[in-house]
Structure formats: C-alpha cells, structure tokens
Amino acid sequence: MIKVTLGVSSSISVYKALDILRRFKERDCNIRVIMTKNAAKLVSPILFETLSGNPVAVDMYENRSSQKVEHIELAKWEDIFLVAPATANIIGKMANGIADDFLSTHYLASTSKVVVAPAMNGRMYRNRAVQENIEKLKQRGVFFINPKKGMLACGEEDEGALEEPLKIVETTLSLLTDKYLLGKTVLVTAGATREYLDPVRFISNPSSGKMGHYIAEEAQKRGAKVILISAHSYLNPPEGVDFVKVDTTSQMKEEVSKHFKKCDILFMAAAPSDFAPKQKSKEKIKRESGSLKIELEPTEDIVSSVAKIKKKSQIICAFAAETENHIENAKKKIKTKGVDFIALNDVSKGDSGFESDLNEIILIDSKLNSFYLGKETKQNLASKLIDKILKK
C-alpha cells in the first residue's frame, strides 16, 4: 500500500484537497494529512480525518502524547509527499528553508519524492519572487504540477487555478511507478466492435472499454510507448498514448495486424464480435417488410491470426469473457489460440465485468497455471495484471 502525506495550505481551492484525498483512497493508498492553521480555518480538519481514517496534523505542539518527534516519524513513514493546494507562502517557505509550522517543518525532514501543485491568483503566480522560488525547488528535485487557466476567486479567468484532482493523483502516483517498460511498445485493444445489419442497426455487446483503457494508462505510466486501438467506448484515451479509433471487427483486425509486428506485448482487452450478418442492407430495413431472418457468419479471430506470426520475444495476453465452464473454456482457448496468457473474467455476474467499474480476473499462462488476481476496480486489476505478466 502506497503511503502518501498530503500537505494542505490555505488557498481558496482547499476544498479540492478533499477530492484529492478521496481519489487516493480509491487507489488503496494510506493518507496522512498536514494542514496549515489557516487552511484549517477554511475547511475543518475533521473532514480530512474522517475521509483518511488517520489523525490530521495542524499544530506542532498540540496533543503531544509520546516522546516521538511527529514530523520526523511522518517523514520516515511516507512514500511520497504532495502539497496541494500550495500557496505562494508555503512555496516561499519551502524554497528558503523556513520552518515555522508543521507543514514547512515536515518538508525539511522529508527524504521522499516531493510534489507541489500551486494554486493562487495569476498575478501572484507570475510574480518574479514566486517563480524564482519555484525554480529553486525544481533544482532541488521537487516536481511541480502546474496550475491551469480557470476562474479564480477574484472573478478573473487566468492561470493559477489548481489542476484537476484526478490528474494530480495520477501524476503523483506515476512518479512512484517503476519504469520497467521503458523502451517497450505495448499494443492494447479496447471497447465493443459493431457489425452492421443496415446503416442504422448493428450487433454489438455491452463492453465499456474500461479494462483496455486502464491497461493502456498503466503501461504508459511504466514507461512504455502505448498504442491503444479502441472500438466503441465513451472514455477519452489516456494522455500520452497513440490512439486509433475503429468501428468493426475487420477494422480492428486490420489495425492490430498493422501494429503487431513492432509491439512487445499485446493486451487483447477489446470485445470484438464473434459473428456478423452475412448480408448488409445498403438501405434501412423497413418494418413493413414483416418478419426478418438474419443469417450470421463468424468473424475472423484477431488473436489467433496475429499469434501465427508471433515472435518468441513477443507476449500476447488475450481476454476471455465466459458465462459457464470458465476455467475449462479458458484453458481450451489458450491452446487453440496460441497465446501466452488468458485473462479470464466471469461476465455472468451482475456486479462486475461488462459496464462495471469492477472486474474479477483469473490469469492463466501457457502452462495452464492459474493465478487469481482478485475482484477489484479495473484500474487496480490493470496494475496487477501487468505486474504478474512482467514477473512471469
């Protein structure tokens, strides 16, 4: 479990720190919060204490119940130290070695990676003194998440607004991720393909594309060049990946075949249709035509086709969505398709799988060994899946 110290100073955007904390908790992080006294006047420390499940530090000398020096013990505990929002005042203290409250004192004691997300008036942010303090800290290895342009408390739209909580959390955690995939190319498919009966009707499935998008995001964080080939999904592609949009199974096969030769790992997390209408009407089929019979034919198996040209150095992880005889069916697929891994998930359960934030995965390797990765968020499972494949 990643241990994060969150420093909160008295910007008007202090309320967003609660969302930052919540998003860290969603990723199973352990959070300790330090607030400046002025920040504690804007938002009650009780809120942070309730959400984090840990006591909140505000006063250096309040409630001393042990002989331990609290800011030193906290510095030993943490994996990473984030200050968000960070005012011009706290940035100035950090840059110049001033330690007159718990937060600034903790910074001097910390030996972990330090991340700062400024939030202040645009004129203040551009002030030469503030910029020089930021530059000082950058030279010492402090990582800055720059503020964005937005509506400020003064009523002006200007740079200085705190970056979005989700981006702050993802950027902070990415700094802790080992870059095991640096120099590698990872190809990921996602989403549901469509097979058209006429211009307005199609056969598809409920895949949301979340699993594939999270795998792409996690691989990118670990240093890989990522190519994401996605069929229909309402999700925006993760920042930094090469994104290819497709519609039908044949289009997905074409793109996978084009990019496969240069990839090191393929995660086939999409849900391409197994069948397509044998004939497609050029015009919309009218209701007046009466009963309708649709003849279906199988689509080409994308995974099997690329597995035939796979080099020994390449890894293919296919996905199997099953409703019965789960392990047995998945083991058959790993033999017939010629892949290295199958990520098996039971889509018959209503609380996980398609259209859910949760999934439950059993990973099966080419020697038919099974590894239960658990029932968790798809984001957490993406990380576990990559960990397991890299370890194997």
Residues designated catalytic? 154
Q: How far apart are CA 184 and CA 50, in angstroms?
A: 42
Q: Is 325 helix (H, G, I), strand (E, B) or coil?
A: coil
Inter-CA distances, 93 with 84, 97, 268, Å? 15, 6, 50
Tokens coding 366: 């080419």
| 276 contacts 195 by C-beta, under 8 angstroms | yes
Q: Phi and psi (nearest 5°) for 162?
A: -60, 135
Residues 6+ apart with CB under 8 A from 20: 6, 82, 84, 165, 168, 169
Question: Beta strands 143-144 and 113-118: pairing type?
Answer: parallel
Contacts of 86 (CB under 8 A, 6+ apart): 7, 9, 11, 116, 117, 118, 119
Partners of 150 in the beta sheet?
Answer: 158
DSSP state of 14: G
Query: Rounded to a whole number, what is the distance in angstroms from the first to the last CA of the chain?
Result: 22
Residues 6+ apart with CB under 8 A from 125: 88, 118, 131, 147, 159, 160
**Nearest-angstrom CA–CA distance, 365 and 391:** 12
Among 303, 225, 302, smallest CA distance to 262 is for: 225
Tokens 């499940």 — which residue? 53
> Which residues sit opposite 202 in a β-bridge?
196
DSSP secondary structure letters along 24-88: HHHTT-EEEEEE-HHHHHHS-HHHHHHHHSS-EE--TTTT--SSS-HHHHHHHH-SEEEEEEE-H
